[in-house]
Amino acid sequence: MTFANIAIIGLGLQGGSIGLAVREFLPESRTRGYDLSAQHRARAAERRLVDEVCTTAAEAVRDADLVIFCVPPGVMGIAAEQVRAGLPANALVSDVGSSKQAVAKALGDALPEHVVIPAHPVAGTENSGPDAGFAHLFRNRWCIVTPPAKVDMVKLSGLVSFWEALGANVEIMTAEHHDLVLAVTSHLPHLIAYTIVGTASDLEDVTQSEVIKYSAGGFRDFTRIAASDPTMWRDVFLSNKEAVLTMLQRFTEDLTALQRAIRIGDGDQLFDHFARTRAIRRSIIEEGQDDARPDFGRGDHEGR
Amino acid sequence: MTFANIAIIGLGLQGGSIGLAVREFLPESRTRGYDLSAQHRARAAERRLVDEVCTTAAEAVRDADLVIFCVPPGVMGIAAEQVRAGLPANALVSDVGSSKQAVAKALGDALPEHVVIPAHPVAGTENSGPDAGFAHLFRNRWCIVTPPAKVDMVKLSGLVSFWEALGANVEIMTAEHHDLVLAVTSHLPHLIAYTIVGTASDLEDVTQSEVIKYSAGGFRDFTRIAASDPTMWRDVFLSNKEAVLTMLQRFTEDLTALQRAIRIGDGDQLFDHFARTRAIRRSIIEEGQDDARPDFGRGDHEGR
């Protein structure tokens, strides 16, 4: 099955990229979009992120056979309630949220009569808002689909084909497992990055200007992630609390072990730890999940 | 003053880049180089990292008016002892080590009759070895020079001009202050990155293959830094122990506060923290210390 009328609720990085990707890769499908912010709606119309920008969520889902919620995890339920009156009974409900158990429950509670199949494209940049999206965001990225135990197989297969058409590879797993995997590959890295950038900002002996000047020593990498949308990330941590706290506990134990090795001067333990982390980067590059060039191919080494 | 004969001890990322940069930007100067590894020496000769690759360190410093030690911090003293017999009395001794108090002491102890002015170019990539260097590594990066309290001003000014010729901006500070600043902008980020990559590798519930597949959610950024040279980083942590432990303590306190906010569901505290970390990235980009493009301009979003 293909979707003829796709409604996109929330026109930020994800919603905008989906709209642009549908126009490029699924030109037969028609897109309607809605965003809570009038300013974002205006900008979305200028950039033609969707075929039609609507002034209410209910209007955007009129005739929809697929609605994708692209709002922060904490307001998925509210956004879903806003479309309930106008959403066709046969429409498939999905989303792009970074946590899946909480979002699946929020969407299911708000739209109990509809088929809900949550999804999460593991793709993004540090930018947000209606200017951030681009059609190729999902190319060669993974999209994780987390169907409930009993699922409409035709709709599931339609959703898988949809994401594949946008350039993504699709993997299916339970929402529980998704939340554990993403806690380590995405949520914990963001928490750590937000923390260290905050720590560096609060020092008394080192000035902000020094932190900025000498950031090429490694710190600058963390500032990219820590520039991500604060509303969305607040919601991610609140909605995937247990898995994040579990991973954080592991991380803290490991950090404490390295801290002790530094304190007692155990160079062998440090070396052994540092030597075994290279292989994983090599695999990430081999799997096409990162740029092989040194320093991510950053432009500030131009002419190398 | 300019340096006519420059000796480079250690022909990895830093030493190789200095050799190539001297050929491009200071073509009047002659370079000799040495590396402990015969394999690296052969590769350095093939890549013409220096004008002459020597088979002993003593031979490399013959006639030198500047010798730059580009070896891990832990072996600076040993490398300096190896050149003592052959080093001209008037030669300036410098280095590129990432920690400065310990290195200054090691070089001073090994070469008590010479003028020692340590330096640290805050520039690099995750690669190491004789294939990693390139002539423009230092362009628009900061080089921190940490002269002793009583210093030969002619030699200091010569060293500053040398680094400026290679494209760097030079800042002068005490070794103590350097070690504190770099503990937060470089050493702590590396320790955190090494830790989280290790944590992710050791999980039972999440497979290595899943960590790799979904790394685009943020994790992959940490793997770049954690692919850095393990020997060098072991030495950095051992040689800048106090400052690293101090910064680590700060970081742990801040992480604990955010952990608590997640546990008790304090969304406002999370939002406030996440919202104030964006400004610092903007400043880093404005100061030319990072690429302004989303996602560092990574090539895997080509065609955006």
Q: Which residues of A255-273 are buried (b: 16+ CB within 10 A; e: fewer)?
A: beebbebbeeebeebbbeb
Q: Hey, which residues does B145 pair with through a beta bridge?
A: B119, B172
pLDDT at res. A304 = 44
pLDDT at res. A297 = 86
Burial environment of residue B246 by CB neighbours within 10 A (0 to 12, 13 to 18, 19 or more) = middle
Cβ contact, residue pair B293, A284, below 8 Å? no
Q: What is the average pLDDT score of chain A?
A: 95
**A-to-B residue pairs, Cβ atoms closer than 8 angstroms:** 385
Question: Which superfamily does B177-301 belong to?
Answer: 6-phosphogluconate dehydrogenase C-terminal like domain (1.10.3660.10)
Identify the three-state secondary structure at position A7.
strand
Cβ contact, residue pair A223, B290, below 8 Å? yes
Instruction: Look at the block and give the residue holding tokens 């001794």.
Output: B93
pLDDT tens column, A39-90: 999 999 999 999 999 999 999 999 999 999 999 999 999 999 999 999 999 9
Q: Residue B286 contacts by C-beta under 8 Å, 6 or more apart in sequence?
A: none
This model of the complex carries an ipTM of 0.92
Residue among A214, A226, A278 whose CB faces B142 most closely: A214
Q: What is the average pLDDT score of chain B?
A: 95
Q: How many helices (H) and strands (E) does chain A have?
A: 14, 9
Instruction: Look at the block and give the residue holding tokens 């964006």.
Output: B278
Cβ contact, residue pair A289, B226, below 8 Å? no
Cβ contact, residue pair A291, B283, below 8 Å? no
What part of B 151-210 touches A (C-beta under 8 Å)? Answer: 171, 177, 180-182, 184-203, 205-206, 208, 210
Contacts of B238 in chain A (CB under 8 A): 262, 265, 267, 270
Q: Judge whether residue B301 has pLDDT over 70.
A: no
Å between A19 CA and nearest CA of chain B: 14
Report the residue of chain B nearest A299, measured CA to CA.
Answer: B291
% of chain A beyond a pLDDT of 90: 88
What part of B 215-244 touches A (C-beta under 8 Å)? Answer: 215-228, 230-231, 233-235, 237-238, 241, 244
Report the residue of chain B nearest A259, measured CA to CA.
Answer: B245
**Of the candidates B184, B168, B67, the residue with the CA atom closest to the CA atom of residue B124:** B168
**Of the candidates B194, B186, B184, the residue with the CA atom closest to the CA atom of residue B248:** B184
DSSP character at residue B89: T
A186, A192, A196, A202: CA torsion to nearest 10? 110
Task: Please check whether the two domains, B5-173 and B177-301, share a CATH topology.
Answer: no
C-alpha R_g of chain B:
21
pLDDT tens column, A8-38: 999 999 999 999 999 999 999 999 999 999 9
Domain boundaries, chain A: 5-173, 177-301
Q: Mean pLDDT lowest for which of A242-256, B217-231, B288-302?
A: B288-302
Residue among A220, A234, A291 whose CB faces B289 most closely: A220
Identify the three-state secondary structure at position A246.
helix
**Of the candidates B133, B145, B251, B147, the residue with the CA atom closest to the CA atom of residue B190:** B251
Q: Report the alpha-carbon distance of residue A98 to residue A185 in Å, rounded.
A: 11
**Of the candidates B198, B196, B190, the residue with the CA atom closest to the CA atom of residue B217:** B196
Question: Which CATH number applies to B5-173?
Answer: 3.40.50.720
Question: Using 50, 70 and 90 to split pLDDT, how confident is the model at B279?
Answer: confident
Amino acid at B70: C
- E strands, B146-284, are 169-172
> Once rounded to an integer, what is the mean pLDDT over residues B30-52?
98
Q: Could you tell me if B141 lies within 8 Å of chain A, comparing CB atoms?
A: yes
Q: Hey, which residues does A8 pair with through a beta bridge?
A: A33, A68
pLDDT at res. B303 = 45
Report the residue of chain A nearest B279, measured CA to CA.
Answer: A227
Report the residue of chain A nearest B223, measured CA to CA.
Answer: A281
Å between A113 CA and nearest CA of chain B: 30
Residue among B141, B223, B230 whose CB faces A284 most closely: B223
Q: Report the alpha-carbon distance of residue A259 to residue A90 in Å, rounded.
A: 56
